[in-house]
Amino acid sequence: MKWILAIAACALMGAGPASAGPVESACLKSGSSAANPALCVCIQQVADMTLSSSDQKMAARLIKDPDKAQEIRASDNDRHEAFWLRYKNFGETAESFCAQG
């Protein structure tokens, strides 16, 4: 666990607005009162560790359009079902890794 935190700390030092990934950008633009730059950077770091670049783009779309998330989750499409499992893992990992307080 300590090595994960060390990697995250190193990434935080190098992360800036110019290097914002799709999940971080969507997080910052979400309008959520909980969305702050440090949290959004952390969530992007988890996305980098757990999601492919195409999954990150889809995750960003779900952040921007929560109704789309419900559509994907309820879909019978095999690709959507596989994505949802990866997205759920990402969400659970981000929740524990980026917990504040």
pLDDT at 47 over 90: yes
pLDDT at residue 34, as a whole number: 83
| 4 occurs within a structural domain | no
| 3 occurs within a structural domain | no
What is the rounded (10 degree) CA torsion for 13, 58, 73, 100? 10
| 72 occurs within a structural domain | yes
| 80 occurs within a structural domain | yes
pLDDT at residue 32, as a whole number: 84
pLDDT-derived band at 101 (thresholds 50, 70, 90) equals: low
| 8 occurs within a structural domain | no
Q: How far apart (Å, rounded) are the C-alpha atoms in residues 35 and 81?
A: 27
Q: Which domain holds residue 75?
A: 22-97
> What is the rounded average pLDDT of the residues 20-35?
91
pTM assigned to the model: 0.77
| 81 occurs within a structural domain | yes
Domains contained in the chain, number = 1
pLDDT at residue 1, as a whole number: 47
| 90 occurs within a structural domain | yes
> What is the rounded average pLDDT of the residues 40-48?
97
